[in-house]
Structure 1
Amino acid sequence: MLDDLLGDRPELPPPVDAAPKWLDTQHGRLCYYSKGQGHTTVLVHSINAAATTYELRTLFEQLSASRRVIAFDWLGFGLSDRPERRYEPELFTGILCHVLDALAPEGADVVALSLACQYVGVVAARQPERFRHLVFISPTGLGRWARRSTLTNKTAAASLKLPGLGAAVFDGLTNRRAIRRFLGNSFADPRRLQPDHEWYAWATARQRNARCAPLYFVAGLLEDERAPQAFRKLCNPTLMIFGDQARFSDPSAAKALAAWVPNVTVETVGESGDLPHLEQPQATGRLIQGFLER
Structure 2
Amino acid sequence: MKKGTKKFLFLSVATLAGMYAYNQFVASTSTKKNMLPTKNGSYYSWKQGNVFYTKTGTGDPVLLIHDTNSASSSVEWSKISKRLQKKHTVYTMDLLGCGLSDKPGLSYTNYMYVQLITAFIKDIIKSKTSVVASNLSSSFVIMANQLDASIIDKMIFINPVSFHSMDAMPDQQSKLKQTIINLPLVGTFIYNLLMNPKRIDRQFRFIYYCRPQLISSKTKDAYYEAAHMDNSNGKYLYSSLLGNYMNIDLRHAVKKITKPVSFIISSDIKANYKTAQEYRKLNSNIDITYVSNCKLYPQLENPEKVYQIIENKLSN
**TM-score, with length taken from structure 1:** 0.92
Q: Unaligned 5+ residue runs, structure 1?
A: none
Tell me, in whole angstroms, the C-alpha distance in 2 between the residues paired with 1:134 and 1:217: 24
Instruction: Determine which of 195, 212, 216 is the counterpart of 2:236.
Output: 212
Count of residue correspondences: 291
Point out the structure with max Rg over C-alpha.
2
2:121 is matched with 100
Q: CA deviation at 1:219?
A: 3.3
1:246 is matched with 269
Tell me, in whole angstroms, the C-alpha distance in 2 between the residues paired with 1:49 and 1:25: 19
User: Residue type matched to 1:219 in 2?
Assistant: G
Query: 1:51 aligned to 2:72?
Result: yes
Q: Deviations over 1:180-228 (max 9, x none)?
A: 01122221122222111100011122222232222212333222x1423
Tell me, in whole angstroms, the C-alpha distance in 2 between the residues paired with 1:23 and 1:172: 32
Query: 1:30 aligned to 2:30?
Result: no
User: Residue type matched to 2:239 in 1?
Assistant: L
Instruction: Determine which of 258, 261, 270 is the counterpart of 2:292.
Output: 270
Instruction: Determine which of 231, 237, 241 is the counterpart of 2:260.
Output: 237
Instruction: Identify the range of structure 1 (78-87 vs 4-13) with the bigger mean alpha-carbon deviation.
Output: 4-13
Instruction: Identify the range of structure 1 (229-238 vs 116-125) with the bigger mean alpha-carbon deviation.
Output: 229-238
Instruction: Identify the range of structure 1 (110-119 vs 226-235) with the bigger mean alpha-carbon deviation.
Output: 226-235
Is 2:95–2:101's contact at 8 Å kept on the other side of the alignment?
A: yes
Q: Deviations over 1:150-182 (max 9, x none)?
A: 313223212322343321331122111000011
Is 1:254–1:266's contact at 8 Å kept on the other side of the alignment?
A: yes
Is 1:43–1:56's contact at 8 Å kept on the other side of the alignment?
A: yes
More helix by share: 2
Is 2:42–2:52's contact at 8 Å kept on the other side of the alignment?
A: yes
User: Residue type matched to 1:234 in 2?
Assistant: I
What SS does structure 2 have at the residue aligned with 1:205? helix
Q: Deviations over 1:227-264 (max 9, x none)?
A: 233222222200111111126x6332222422442331
Instruction: Determine which of 174, 177, 190 is the counterpart of 2:195.
Output: 174
**TM-score, with length taken from structure 2:** 0.86
Tell me, in whole angstroms, the C-alpha distance in 1 between the residues paired with 2:315 and 2:159: 21
Tell me, in whole angstroms, the C-alpha distance in 2 between the residues paired with 1:220 and 1:191: 34
What SS does structure 2 have at the residue aligned with 1:181? helix
Is 2:76–2:299's contact at 8 Å kept on the other side of the alignment?
A: no
Tell me, in whole angstroms, the C-alpha distance in 1 between the residues paired with 2:191 and 2:134: 22
Q: Deviations over 1:129-150 (max 9, x none)?
A: 111110101110x244333223
1:5 is matched with 24
Tell me, in whole angstroms, the C-alpha distance in 2 between the residues paired with 1:100 and 1:202: 29
Is 1:154–1:221's contact at 8 Å kept on the other side of the alignment?
A: no
C-alpha spacing 1:192/1:94, structure 2 compared with 1 (3 Å) = same
Is 1:153–1:221's contact at 8 Å kept on the other side of the alignment?
A: no
2:62 is matched with 41
Tell me, in whole angstroms, the C-alpha distance in 2 between the residues paired with 1:210 and 1:84: 9
What SS does structure 2 have at the residue aligned with 1:271? coil
User: Residue type matched to 1:76 in 2?
Assistant: G
Q: Deviations over 1:79-128 (max 9, x none)?
A: 11111222211211111111011122220000001111000011112322
- Aligned Cα RMSD in Å? 2.0
User: Residue type matched to 1:136 in 2?
Assistant: F
Instruction: Determine which of 168, 172, 184 is the counterpart of 1:148.
Output: 168
Q: CA deviation at 1:8?
A: 2.3
Tell me, in whole angstroms, the C-alpha distance in 1 between the residues paired with 2:298 and 2:205: 13
Tell me, in whole angstroms, the C-alpha distance in 1 between the residues paired with 2:69 and 2:49: 20
What SS does structure 2 have at the residue aligned with 1:206? helix
Q: Unaligned 5+ residue runs, structure 2?
A: 1-19
User: Residue type matched to 1:233 in 2?
Assistant: K
Is 1:30–1:80's contact at 8 Å kept on the other side of the alignment?
A: yes
